[in-house]
């Protein structure tokens, strides 16, 4: 893939700053549509605990609708991030599980979640301060 090494100190802009080759704008768009999808992230997170059935997901991911569950599940399956296993039984049973690829996504996404957890309060403060520029008295 040969992406730009980001090991250089961000502040030391002595040379021509290295950026992504612009074509990556398209690539970024791709990830955003995956990792930036609330439901996708939630589903992948839930699946970290092992395979789950349709209704299990429906219940464990609080607030998701059938429509979005099914839709997102299809997306993830299409991308090869999860597998769908249908057991031909009388009460149909379908299990969804993370693929290896899906697991790597989860790891990457976890980085973001950690970041959010670490700086969540700080951001809240910033917002409050920004929204309330008064209070100089």
Partner DNA sequence: CTGTATCCACGGCGATACTG
Partner DNA sequence: CAGTATCGCCGTGGATACAG
Place of tokens 């697991």: 103
106 belongs to the binding site for DNA (CB under 7 A): no
112 binds, among DNA, a copy of itself, none (CB under 5 to 8 A by kind): a copy of itself
Coil vs helix vs strand at 3: coil
8 Å CB contact between 33 and 41 = no
Q: How far is 116 from 38, CA to CA, in rounded Å?
A: 14
85 binds, among DNA, a copy of itself, none (CB under 5 to 8 A by kind): none
8 Å CB contact between 44 and 52 = no
37: Cβ contacts below 8 Å, ≥ 6 apart: 72, 75
Give least dist CB 18 to a copy of itself, A: 8
36 binds, among DNA, a copy of itself, none (CB under 5 to 8 A by kind): a copy of itself
The contact set with a copy of itself (CB under 8 A) reads 1, 3, 6, 10, 13, 17-20, 22, 24-25, 27-32, 34-38, 41-42, 45-46, 48-50, 61-63, 77-80, 98, 101, 103-120, 122-123, 125-127, 130-131
């Amino acid at each position: 893939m040969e992406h730009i090494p980001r090991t250089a100190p961000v502040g030391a802009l002595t040379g021509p700053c290295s950026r992504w080759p612009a074509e990556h704008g398209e690539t970024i768009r791709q990830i955003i549509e995956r990792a930036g999808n609330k439901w996708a992230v939630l589903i992948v997170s839930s699946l970290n605990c092992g395979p789950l059935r349709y209704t299990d997901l429906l219940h464990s991911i609080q607030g998701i609708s059938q429509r979005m569950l099914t839709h997102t599940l299809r997306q993830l399956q299409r991308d090869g991030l999860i597998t769908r296993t249908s057991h031909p039984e009388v009460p149909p049973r379908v299990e969804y599980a993370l693929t290896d690829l899906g697991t790597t996504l989860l790891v990457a996404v976890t980085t973001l979640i950690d970041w959010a957890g670490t700086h969540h309060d700080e951001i809240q403060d910033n917002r409050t301060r920004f929204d309330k520029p008064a209070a100089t008295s």
